[in-house]
Amino acid sequence: MSPDEILKFLRLSYTALSDGALLVLIALALVLIYKATDVINFANGEFMLIGGYIGYQLLIWLQVFESPGLIVLLAIIGVVVMTTLIGVLVERLVLRPLIGEPIISVIMVTIGLSNVIQAIVGLIWGKNPRPLPIDIIPRFSPFRIELEGARRPLNLLPDTLIILAVAFVLVGLLLLFFRRSKHGIAMRATADDQQAAMSMGISIRFIFALTWSLAAITAAVAGLMIAHVTNGVSGDIHNVSLRAFPVIILGGLDSIAGAIIGGFAIAFVESFSSGYIDPSVKTVAPYIVLLIVLMVKPYGLFGQKRIERV
Amino acid sequence: MLSLNNIEVIYNDVILVLKGLSLQVEQGTIVALLGANGAGKSTTLKSISGLLRPENGEVTDGEIIYEGKPIQNREPAEIVRAGIFQVMEGRRVFEHLTVEENLRAGGYTTNSKQHAERAELVYNYFPRLLERRNHVAGFLSGGEQQMLAIGRALMAQPRLMMLDEPSLGLAPMLVQGIFEIIKRINQEQGMTVLLVEQNANIALSIADYAYIMENGRVVLEGKPNDLRQNADVREFYLGLTEVGSRKSYRDVKHYKRRKRWLS
Ligand SMILES: Nc1ncnc2c1ncn2[C@@H]1O[C@H](COP(=O)(O)OP(=O)(O)OP(=O)(O)O)[C@@H](O)[C@H]1O
Ligand SMILES: [Mg+2]
């Protein structure tokens, strides 16, 4: 490989890392809900949208404080609190009345919900993109990688690393929650066998509300970071959510490990196909890979089948 | 401790399954509830534990009194917190969780500080589970899964443990072992047990009192020894006939007549 090619490879990989981290979070939000309730949440993108816009609004209101660090911290806490409430509210007002109805009705309702949220966001904040008043991730100067014989040096933004770190911490916390905490174990138990979980005294309603809140928080954090990457909030945030569908199908709808590996895999496929083949291939390439994988593994890479003892 | 007075249970607003069932469970005893397939044994347990609702069933008449208070049609979580725990038919372990995680799920309603201690107790009764504590429950043998299902119940520290056909699908040797442990739990922990079984023989061997139900009603009740003497029970539930006496058609007819009269 020539020096230029090496740098190009590095650049494409680096892009894929931050994209991958975001896709992981978005996919995770979908997987959480699917695992617990068998529902594919078509309003996931709107949870991201809400996260972005609430973050934007809080950043504006919090300008009364001096320190940008404090403003960002409070804004993030605010987003988490608000989206938790929204998750609970959605579960209680929209989804709980549907308990016992066919899954397909619930899925249709999430499609309806996505339209409603878009309309509300449009009413409050309008259609035009709005820049964030302060950066949520500090803008450090890029690293510069120079190679002898290369025509141009490669500049890499440190933001990618911070996004990766945020995703890493969030995913780590979630995994810890599922392995160690009583409610996390109860969530997995509920995913396995709802009625048996009820017989343990686990309240399914509480678990569902918790699930929707955790998913909403995860999606909102992704939304905030996309707002940072795209220099502001706009209706486009929720479009990114569509790219998470091949991720969860690739990884297996109910697998957290699948969401993580699938997220990075799809991001690399997107980045390399657009870099090495043609930018227009970027949107189809994930689906081509997906088709090939599903031919071999119909439940996705990590999808759970019922355990059959032999 | 627990009494069901003339309860009626209806599924899906139309299917009448329990038709005025009554039974009593005294503190500290093992009570067996016997009956053929479809008699309504599981339905009886679910009406107590609150697990009817998710199946669209409801107690529409009569009363379920537990420690002096009516508890019919309550949420399962409330019932578990009140001290009643149902071990469901078919074991229903959480397949993708480890043995230890299954136990923690069983102790969901109790203080997690006592989990280690409770788990110790479970492992004492079922040393097999200790060996398998980090295994995924879906891969355990049927017997081990039944142990785990009972272990989960112990984690919740119930005062009344209800077991739905713990012998289902297990080899006779294993069944013997499991029933011995149920008896020990009853005696050592002072835990009251309501035991549903089709295997009348083994259930009567550990029970203090037994009810036989058919078609949504109790048709016979009594102490195990008295029931064992009863000719109908011997023939239809224990598979015994009087030595030397031919199984006569008239006896069967007599039984059927009585059954018709009762239902
Ligand atoms: N969810 C349900 N909806 C409608 N009918 C039901 C439901 N569950 C049970 N039944 C009916 O109620 C009757 C009693 O069922 P139940 O499961 O209580 O019997 P059982 O005595 O436990 O039988 P088995 O020994 O086979 O477990 C059966 O006729 C069954 O078809
Ligand atoms: Mg049954």
pLDDT digits (tens, 9 = 90+) for A97-129: 887 788 888 889 999 999 999 999 999 998 889
In a domain, B248, yes or no: no
Cβ atoms of B167 and B199 closer than 8 Å:
yes
Number of compact structural domains in chain B: 1
Q: Is the pLDDT of residue B176 over 60?
A: yes
Q: Do B156 and A201 touch (CB under 8 A)?
A: yes
Q: Do B97 and A194 touch (CB under 8 A)?
A: no
Counting every residue written for chain A, the total comes to: 310
Q: Name the residue of B41, B194, B196, B263 whose CB sits within 8 Å of the most ligand 1 atoms, as the mutation to test its pocket.
A: B41
Q: Mutation test of the interface with chain A: which of B11, B96, B150, B161, choosing the one with the most A Cβ atoms within 10 A?
A: B96
Q: Which of residues 77-106 of A touch B (CB under 8 A)?
A: 100
In a domain, B243, yes or no: no
Cβ atoms of A98 and A90 closer than 8 Å:
no
User: In this complex, is the C-beta atom of B95 within 8 Å of any C-beta atom belonging to chain A?
Assistant: yes
Q: Mutation test of the interface with chain B: which of A99, A175, A177, A199, choosing the one with the most B Cβ atoms within 10 A?
A: A199
Write down the domain spans for chain A: 3-130+155-296
Q: Is the pLDDT of residue B243 over 60?
A: no
The torsion angles phi and psi of B5, rounded to 5 degrees, stand at -115, 105
Strand pairing report for B192-197 and B160-164: parallel
Q: For residue A309, which residues of chain B lie inside 8 Å, CB to CB?
A: 138-139, 141
**What pLDDT was estimated at residue B260?**
46
Tokens of residue B144, six digits = 């081990």
Coil, helix or strand at residue B64: strand
Cβ atoms of A195 and A50 closer than 8 Å:
no
Cβ atoms of A192 and B95 closer than 8 Å:
yes
Q: Do B88 and A189 touch (CB under 8 A)?
A: no
- Overall average pLDDT of the B115-142 stretch: 94
Q: Is the pLDDT of residue B15 over 80?
A: yes
Mean residue pLDDT of chain B comes to 89
The angle subtended at Cα B91 by Cα B85 and Cα B94, nearest 5°, is 90
Burial of A169 (0-12, 13-18, 19+ CB in 10 A): exposed
- Overall average pLDDT of the B144-169 stretch: 95
Q: Do A193 and B108 touch (CB under 8 A)?
A: no
Which residues in chain A come in under a pLDDT of 70? 304-310
Distance in Å, CA B68 to ligand 2 centroid: 27
Which amino acids bring their CB within 6 angstroms of ligand 1? B 11-12, 15, 17, 35, 37-43, 55, 57, 89, 198
pLDDT (tens digit per residue) in A248-294 = 988 888 888 999 999 999 999 999 999 999 988 888 999 998 899 88
Output the domain CATH number for residue B12: 3.40.50.300
State the ligand closest to the CA atom of B17.
1
Q: Name the residue of B8, B11, B212, B218 whose CB sits within 8 Å of the most ligand 1 atoms, as the mutation to test its pocket.
A: B11
In a domain, B59, yes or no: yes
CATH of domain A3-130+155-296: 1.10.3470
Domain span holding position B24: 2-83+158-224
In a domain, B125, yes or no: no
Cβ atoms of B151 and B129 closer than 8 Å:
yes
User: In this complex, is the C-beta atom of B88 within 8 Å of any C-beta atom belonging to chain A?
Assistant: yes
Burial of A195 (0-12, 13-18, 19+ CB in 10 A): middle
